[in-house]
Structure 1
Amino acid sequence: MARNIQSLERAAAVLRLLAGGERRLGLSDISSALGLAKGTAHGILRTLQSEGFVEQDQASGRYQLGAELLRLGTTYLDVHELRARALVWTDDLARSSGESVYLGVLHQHGVLIVHHVFRPDDSRQVLEVGAMQPLHSTALGKVLAAYDPVAHSEALEGERKAFTPRTVCDAEGFEGLLDLTRSRGYASDVEETWEGVASVAAPIHDRRRMPVGAVGVTGAVERVRQADGALRPELIASVRECARSVSRDLGAGRF
């Protein structure tokens, strides 16, 4: 059996670390997290930087993913039927809701963001295409876990980390959230993953009525909730209608 090439494995580990952690990491952070000598980590980073897969901030010396990696990822995502079908509907959802819109799919025990529409204002925002979100705490993740048996198994078997005091981590409580998601047709995340942030998401189905992804909006709690603490009903309706529209475009028909 052919043996794996260690240098490639280490380079892949560096890229995963930069994709899944803080936006920028220093050399010491990377070498410590991966158990690599600083010289080894620096050599890998220098090579990845020369190929455009990693960029170094000149002021801080910290590293982040590079534009070449995003270009390669976007090439794949552009031919992804789900993303292509969702483009118009997610743009409409961002305009009508005034919030950021995310399209996610199951990938490596988490939610991979395959499309992100910025909140339609003049605030500074960071494109999160290619970012990973947890299955158990986010609205997108709970939708996938509720409707996709594979995502359900991965969410139950994986680590359910408490990101805030509101994160539901125990299996019984989590199953209760999934039951609620299926009964009402959408999932929510009110400060379960990030303090001060709330989300609403709904499932997308294909022509076989199989769950293929989730779409949702994310914004500040005070904008997503009403004064009485309930989620804005018009926001929930808009998210569900967006999910139904994308599903119809994928051939799911009326449901």
Structure 2
Amino acid sequence: MIQSVDRAVRILTALQGARRMGLGELATQLELAPSTVHGIVRTLLDHGMIAQERDSGRYRLGPATLRLGNVYLDTLELRSRSVPWAEDLAARTGVAVRTAVLLAGVDRDLPERDVIVVAHEPRPGGGRQMNEVGIVVPAHACALGKALLAFDDTALPETDTLRSMTGETITDPARLRDELAAVRAAGIATEAEEAVLGEYGVAAPVGDHSGAVVGAIGLVVTQADWPLDPAAADALRATARSISRELGAASWPPAVTERPAASA
């Protein structure tokens, strides 16, 4: 690992979580000398990756991060393939549709993985709705995340307890593993107010030509529409299967990516 690059990424990650931070706050969180952090910050400023507020002197993410994010979305085949299918799924079920992927990195202070929404199809006829692209949710607390974790054993958290988002969040890793086994058997994951109160959801994994899971697509359901109509769940499975087929998958659900065995 290249130390300077690692530190720069950690600064960007810290600003992502806290929105705005001073130099001292960054140095404390990263456990580095302020002079070390200052040098990296100046470089990130020069490249537009972070910006400094004139009044407070605090730092926040810069406009260049948006440009990188847009390029990522434009080149993500899962997103481009899922959009027309998500539009059809939303029209058939009457609820909003999200497509998500696992975030690649793991926060040093948070051993769990997160998912990030890369496409969002609003609920048909639902009036004004917020665009949810870019929303980050702990994987263990949402249906999209469970659909991904169930088929990627390498992404399972190695921790004694999981973050609690609501009183319904699964915080016991053993209980999570039991639920993920059920997801693998059914090909579909569920959530009930585990990430956001009043929000329910179902999701299914999406695979590609490699046979591995590369994302998940899910339905966002209100309490009034829960439990979900079985026909909507069947439509979700069919959609995940169709997207997987377009991405070159030979079968669905995807194969489980196993964690390498520990060395003796």
Scaled to the shorter chain, the TM-score interval is 0.7 to 0.9
Alignment partner, residue 120 of structure 2: 117
Q: After superposition, what is the alpha-carbon deviation per residue over 1:50-98, rounded to whole angstroms, capped at 9, x for unaligned? A: 4221245678766443331232233244333323322322343445544
Alignment partner, residue 214 of structure 2: 212
Partner SS, residue 165 of structure 1? coil
Unaligned ranges ≥5, structure 1: none
**1:102 and 2:99 matched:** yes
**Worse overlay, 80-89 or 243-252:** 80-89
One-letter amino acid of the structure 2 residue matched with residue 135 of structure 1: A
**1:240 and 2:240 matched:** no
Equivalent-residue separation in structure 1 for 2:233 and 2:172 (angstroms)? 26
**1:182 and 2:184 matched:** yes
CA RMSD of aligned residues (A): 3.3
Distance of aligned partners of 1:158 and 1:78 in 2 relative to their CA distance in 1, 3 Å threshold: farther
Partner SS, residue 107 of structure 1? coil
Q: After superposition, what is the alpha-carbon deviation per residue over 1:97-141, rounded to whole angstroms, capped at 9, x for unaligned? A: 44251321362352442622253542344541xx64323222122
Q: Is the 8 A contact 2:142 2:191 kept in 1?
A: yes
Instruction: State the TM-score, normalizing by the size of structure 2.
Output: 0.73
Q: After superposition, what is the alpha-carbon deviation per residue over 1:147-169, rounded to whole angstroms, capped at 9, x for unaligned? A: 22323xx3355852222221112
Q: How many residues align?
A: 241
Equivalent-residue separation in structure 1 for 2:41 and 2:236 (angstroms)? 40
1:243 deviation in Å? Answer: 1.1
Aligned match for 2:152, one of 138, 145, 148: 148
Partner SS, residue 70 of structure 1? helix
One-letter amino acid of the structure 2 residue matched with residue 123 of structure 1: Q
Equivalent-residue separation in structure 2 for 1:122 and 1:56 (angstroms)? 33
Instruction: State the TM-score, normalizing by the size of structure 1.
Output: 0.75
Partner SS, residue 72 of structure 1? helix
Alignment partner, residue 256 of structure 2: none
Q: After superposition, what is the alpha-carbon deviation per residue over 1:160-212, rounded to whole angstroms, capped at 9, x for unaligned? A: 22222211122331122112212322112222123333332101122454322
Equivalent-residue separation in structure 2 for 1:126 and 1:18 (angstroms)? 20
Alignment partner, residue 48 of structure 2: 52
Equivalent-residue separation in structure 2 for 1:186 and 1:202 (angstroms)? 5
Equivalent-residue separation in structure 1 for 2:117 and 2:44 (angstroms)? 23
Aligned match for 1:69, one of 51, 65, 68: 65
Alignment partner, residue 15 of structure 1: 12
Unaligned ranges ≥5, structure 2: 107-112, 253-264
Distance of aligned partners of 1:191 and 1:248 in 2 relative to their CA distance in 1, 3 Å threshold: same
Equivalent-residue separation in structure 2 for 1:81 and 1:124 (angstroms)? 23
Distance of aligned partners of 1:231 and 1:59 in 2 relative to their CA distance in 1, 3 Å threshold: farther
Q: Is the 8 A contact 2:208 2:214 kept in 1?
A: yes
Partner SS, residue 220 of structure 2? strand
Equivalent-residue separation in structure 1 for 2:197 and 2:26 (angstroms)? 26
Equivalent-residue separation in structure 1 for 2:105 and 2:160 (angstroms)? 11
Equivalent-residue separation in structure 2 for 1:61 and 1:231 (angstroms)? 49
**Worse overlay, 232-241 or 134-143:** 232-241
Q: Is the 8 A contact 1:105 1:113 kept in 2?
A: yes
Q: Is the 8 A contact 1:106 1:144 kept in 2?
A: no
Equivalent-residue separation in structure 2 for 1:31 and 1:138 (angstroms)? 32
One-letter amino acid of the structure 2 residue matched with residue 165 of structure 1: G
Partner SS, residue 193 of structure 1? coil
Aligned match for 1:135, one of 130, 134, 139: 139
Equivalent-residue separation in structure 1 for 2:215 and 2:160 (angstroms)? 19
